[in-house]
Structure 1
Amino acid sequence: MLRFLMPAALLAAAVPAHAALTAPERRMVQTVDAERERHIALLQKLVDQNSGSHNLAGVEAVGRMVRAELEPLGFQVRWIPLRETGRAGHLVATHPGRRGGKRLLLIGHLDTVFEPDSPFQKFVREGDRARGPGIEDDKGGDVVMIAALRAMQAAGTLKAANIEIVLTGDEEDTGKPVALARRDLIAAGKRADVALDFEGLAQENGQDMGSVARRSAGGWTLTVSARPAHSSGVFAPGVGSGAIYELARIVDTFRRELREDKLTYNVGLVGGGQTAALDEGQIRLAASGKTNITGATAVARGDLRAISQDQIDRTRAKMQAIVAQNLPGTRAVLSFDDDTYPPMPPTAGNLALLDRLNRVNGDMGLPAMGALDPLKRGAGDISWVAKDVDGLVGLGAASTGAHTDQETIDLPSISRQAKRAAILMSRLAAERR
C-alpha cells in the first residue's frame, strides 16, 4: 500500500470547523445560525420605534420590546423610571444562576441620537447590510445580546449563569444629575465580576478588534471679560487687549502646550463681542459687537478626553495655569462640567478578558482580535463601572456611519458576535468567583 504524509495545510483543512468547541458550544453556534432572520426582524422592530434620548415614551416602548425578549429566558425584569433626570429611565434584568459562579454584567442602551423630528426614522435592508437610526448604536448591540442569551438557553448554559443586564435610556444624552442617572449602573458594577459592553464592534482594515479601554468625556467652559473701549486704543495702557484676543491666546496655547498620548481637547463653540451668552443647554451662543469697540466678553465651550484620571487632573491643572496668565486688561475663568464620563484605562484585567475572547476566536476558527487604540472610540457607559470591575467593550455589531443618517449595520456581524458572546459568557459563568 502506498503511504504518504499529508501536508500540514491539508491536514489543517481536514479538521472540522469549530472542532475545538464543546457540544453545548456547537449548539450555540447552530442556534444563532438558525435564528438569523429572527434577529434581523427584531432589529427592524427596535429600529422602527424612535427612541431618541428626549423621546421618553419611545425609550420606554423599546424597553418593553426588550422585556418581552428577556422574560421568557428566565430574567426578572424591572423598569427604573428616572423622569426627574429629564430622561425615561433604565431597564434592569437579573438572571440568578449557580451559587458561587462568576457574576456577569451586560451593558447596552435603549436610546439613540435621532429624535422624533429627525428625517431618519426607518429600517431599510440592502442585502447583507441595513440602514436605520440607532441600528448599530445600540439596537444592533441589544439584538446581539438577546441572540447570545437565546443560544445559551438552547445549549443549557444559561440556567447556571449569574447575569445582570443594565440597558440605560440616556447613554447618548445623560440625564441630570448624573449621580442619579448612573446610580443603578454603578451599583451593578460593584456587584459584578466581569462587565461586557454591547456597543458596536470596532474594525480596522476589515479586521475585528477588541476594546479594552475607553477615554473619558467631559466639557469645559471658558469665559473672558474685559473693559470695552474704542478700538483705536486697543493694546494701549488702560485699554488692554480685549476679551477676544485673550480667549484666542488661551485656546491656541491649549492647542500647542497640552498635547499628550491618548489626550484630545476640542473647542466646539466660540463667540465674543460687546455681549456673548450661552443658552440654557450650552449648545448655542448669541453674540453682538462692532468692529470699532474692543471685545467686552468672549466665551468658548469644548471637551476633554483622557485615558486616566491622572491625565485628566494633570491636564486640568495645566489649563488653569494657562488661563491665569491674563493679557493686560482681561480676566478669564475656566470651569469644568460636573457630569464628566470617567475613563476606562487598559488594565491587566481588561487585557486578560480580551485574551479569553481570543481563545474563543481560536476555537471558532476566527482570527485573533487586537486591542483597539482608545483614540478610535468615544466614551461609553462601561466607564462608570471600570474602577470596580474588569471589562471588555465592543461586543455589538459592526457598522459604518454611526450618529449620521448613513448609519449602516453589517448584518452577518450580528451572528458572528452573538456566537462569540454566547461562548465567552458561558465559559466565564461556569467559573467560580
Structure 2
Amino acid sequence: MPAACATRRITGLPFPMEIPLRKNILLSLLVAAAFVAPAVSSAQTDKVLLNAAQKRQPEFVKDLATLVNVDTGTDDAKGLAQMEAFLAQRLRDLGATVEIFAAPPAAGKMVLGTLQGKGSKNIMLMVHYDTVFGIGDAAKRPFRVEGNKAFGPGVADAKGGALIMLYALDLVRERGFADFKTLSIFFNPDEEKSSLGSREKIRELSSRQDYVLSFEPPEADRVTVATNGIAYVHLDVKGLASHAGSAPEKGRNAAVELANQILQLRDLGDPVKGTTVNWTVIQAGERVNITPEKASATADMRLSDLSEIERVQADASKIIQKKLVPETQVSVKVENRRPPFSKNAATDKLAVQANSIYQELGKTIEPVAMRYGTDAGFAYNPATGKPVVLDGMGIVGNRIHSTDEWVDLDSVAPRLYLTIRLLEVMGKAR
C-alpha cells in the first residue's frame, strides 16, 4: 500500500478523502440505512472472546518478530518463499485446505486457505505479504518493541494484518464457529507493485464471495470504505541527437521538449473529481556533450472515477500537439494500474456495523476514504455492487513505507475481536 498522506478534509470531492467521515454522516447512516445484519447492543461485550484475544497477544508479537525479520520485497523470491511457507503451514495447522498458485510476473506465489462451514455465506479475508523494502533492510532495522509500539520493515503493511487473519482463524476454530459456507484466507505477493500477477485471482475469488474483508493497516481506530484507483501517465519524446558543443543546431533536443510538455500537462488533474496527476519520474540524456535524442517522464495519477482515465488520455493527447521544439515526436499513454474501491452503500452499512461492534469495547470506529489504492479495488465489482467489501481491517499502524513504520500492539486484541464479531454477524446476515 502506498504511503498514506496527511489526514485532513479535502473539499470539493465526491467524498471526503483520508479523514474520518463526519458524525452527522455517521448518524444519518445509523438512522436511514437498512443494516447488513441485526444491530448489536454496545453494552454487550463478549468477555470470553475479548479474553481469548488478549491472551494471544504475546504469541502474536513473537510471530510478528519472525515475519518482520524476513525480507519480503516484491522482487525478493527467496524471502517471499520463506513467507509463503510460513503462511501455508500455519493455515494447514489451523485446519484449512491450502492451495498455492503461481503469480507471474511476481517473484512470489499466492496462498489460499479454505474452511468449509455449515452456513450460507461465502466470506474471504485477504491481504498481501510483500513489502516495499529491499534485501538487507530487515537486518538493518530488525523488529523491536518500544512501549506499546513495534517497529520494522512491513510491520504494519501488511505483516501485522496477515497475522490478524491467522489468529482470527485460530479463534474461529476455538469457538467452534462454522456459520459460513466457506471461509477463505488469501495472501498475495505483489500488491506493492499493483498486483499484476494476482489481480485476476482476486477478481475470480471475490466474484464467489458474499463478503470480503481486506486487512490493510488503518492509521487509527478506523475502517476504509473507499480508496482511489491508480494509473500511470507515460510521456515519451523522440528528437535527434547531435554534438551539443559543435553542432547543437543540427539536433532536436528531446529533453527540452519533454520539459515543455510537462509544463503544458501540469493541470491534467481535476480537484472536483478528486483526480491528481503528478509528474514524478523523468529521464533524458546519457552524456553531457550529446543533445538528447530521447526523453521520457511518468506521472502518478490517482482517481475515484474510472471515466477519468479516458478523459485524461483525451486531454493529454490534444495538449501534446503543441510543441516547442520542431520536428520532435511526442506520445502520451495512460496506463490503468488499479481500479478505485468505489464508495457504496453496502460497505457504508458494514462500517456502521463494525462501529457497533467496537462500541462493545467502549471504542468507536470511524469510516474513512483514502487516496491510496489497495486490492479492495479488484475485489469489489461496481457493476454488480458485489461482494460487500470492507478494507482497513488490519492492525493499527503509521509511517507506512518509511524507515520508522510502526504498529500499535494495543490494537491487536480489539482488531481480533472486531474480526470475529464481524464474521459472526455476517454469517447471520440475510
TM-score, with normalisation over the residues of structure 1?
A: 0.80
2:393 alignment partner in structure 1: 395
* Counterparts of 2:349 and 2:176, CA distance in 1: 26
1:51 Cα deviation (Å)?
Answer: 1.9
2:84 alignment partner in structure 1: 63
Q: Is the aligned partner of 1:98 residue 2:118?
A: yes
With over 3 angstroms needed to count, the CA separation of the structure-2 counterparts of 1:325 and 1:150, relative to structure 1, is: same
1:281 alignment partner in structure 2: none
* Counterparts of 2:307 and 2:380, CA distance in 1: 15
1:427 alignment partner in structure 2: 425
Give the letter for the 2:168 counterpart.
A
1:299 Cα deviation (Å)?
Answer: 1.4
Q: Within 5 Å, give how 1:219-258 maps onto structure 2.
A: 219-227=232-240, 242-258=253-269
Contact conserved, 1:108 with 1:197, CA < 8 A, in 2? Answer: yes
1:391 Cα deviation (Å)?
Answer: 1.1
Of 8, 33, 57, the match for 1:36:
57
Contact conserved, 1:195 with 1:389, CA < 8 A, in 2? Answer: yes
1:141 Cα deviation (Å)?
Answer: 0.4
Deviation string 1:48-107 (CA, Å, 9 cap, x unpaired) is: 22222222232122222223332333321122233x4242211001111124x2211111
Of 132, 139, 162, the match for 1:113:
132
Q: Within 5 Å, give how 1:93-242 maps onto structure 2.
A: 93-99=113-119, 101-118=120-137, 119-158=139-178, 160=180, 162-174=182-194, 178=196, 180-203=197-220, 208-227=221-240, 242=253
Deviation string 1:337-359 (CA, Å, 9 cap, x unpaired) is: 46x11111111222122112112
1:167 Cα deviation (Å)?
Answer: 0.3
Give the letter for the 1:263 counterpart.
T
Contact conserved, 1:214 with 1:343, CA < 8 A, in 2? Answer: yes
Q: Matched residue of 2:225: which SS?
A: coil
The percent of aligned pairs where both chains have the same amino acid is 23
Q: Is the aligned partner of 1:270 residue 2:259?
A: no
1:372 Cα deviation (Å)?
Answer: 1.9
Q: Matched residue of 1:405: which SS?
A: coil
Contact conserved, 1:28 with 1:154, CA < 8 A, in 2? Answer: no
Deviation string 1:316-364 (CA, Å, 9 cap, x unpaired) is: 22222222333343321112346x1111111122212211211212333
Deviation string 1:260-315 (CA, Å, 9 cap, x unpaired) is: 2422222122133xxx4xxxxxxxxxx3344xx76543211222111121122222
* Counterparts of 1:403 and 1:160, CA distance in 2: 35
1:199 Cα deviation (Å)?
Answer: 0.9
Deviation string 1:5-44 (CA, Å, 9 cap, x unpaired) is: xxxxxxxxxxxxx86337xx43221210121111111111
Contact conserved, 1:162 with 1:429, CA < 8 A, in 2? Answer: no
Give the letter for the 2:135 counterpart.
P
1:348 alignment partner in structure 2: 345
Q: Matched residue of 1:107: which SS?
A: strand
Deviation string 1:158-185 (CA, Å, 9 cap, x unpaired) is: 464631111001222357xx3x532321
* Counterparts of 2:125 and 2:268, CA distance in 1: 39
* Counterparts of 2:136 and 2:206, CA distance in 1: 35
Q: Is the aligned partner of 1:410 residue 2:408?
A: yes
Give the letter for the 1:107 counterpart.
M
Q: Is the aligned partner of 1:364 residue 2:384?
A: no
Give the letter for the 1:20 counterpart.
A
Larger Cα-atom Rg: 1
Q: Matched residue of 1:422: which SS?
A: helix
* Counterparts of 1:37 and 1:415, CA distance in 2: 11
1:288 alignment partner in structure 2: 287
Deviates more, 1:389-398 or 1:222-231: 222-231
Deviation string 1:226-251 (CA, Å, 9 cap, x unpaired) is: 3457889x99xx98984333322322
